[in-house]
Amino acid sequence: MRILDPETGRSLHEVQMYFTASEATEFRDALNELLTDPEALEHRHIVADAREISFSLVIAAKLANLKRYTEVERRVLQER
C-alpha cells in the first residue's frame, strides 16, 4: 500500500480514516468497481465534507509503465 499526500508530495506511512456508514458504503462500492477490471487505467474519488480521497489499484502491469504517473507518484510507487 502506498499513500501519497499530494499537498506535500510526501509518502504517508500511517493514516487514520473515519467514515460514516454512507461514506463507507460509497468507498466499498467504488473499490468493487475497480476490482471488476484491475488492469483498467482508472481511479475513483470520494468527496465528503470538502475532503477528497482518490484511490486506484496498482498492479504489476501498471507499474511497468511508470511514465504515465507524475514524478511524485513515481517516487512513491517505487518505494518499498
The one-letter amino acid at 40: A
Q: pTM of this prediction?
A: 0.79
Domain boundaries, given as residue ranges, for the chain: 3-77
Residue 80 has pLDDT above 80, yes or no: no
Put residue 9 in one of left, alpha, beta given phi > 0 → left and psi -120 to 50 → alpha.
left
Instruction: Specify the pLDDT at position 41.
Output: 82
Q: What are phi and psi of 57, to 5 degrees?
A: -95, 130
The pLDDT tens digits of the residues spanning 12-32 come to: 999 999 999 999 999 999 999
Asked if residue 63 has pLDDT above 90, the reply is no
Residue 1: pLDDT above 90? no
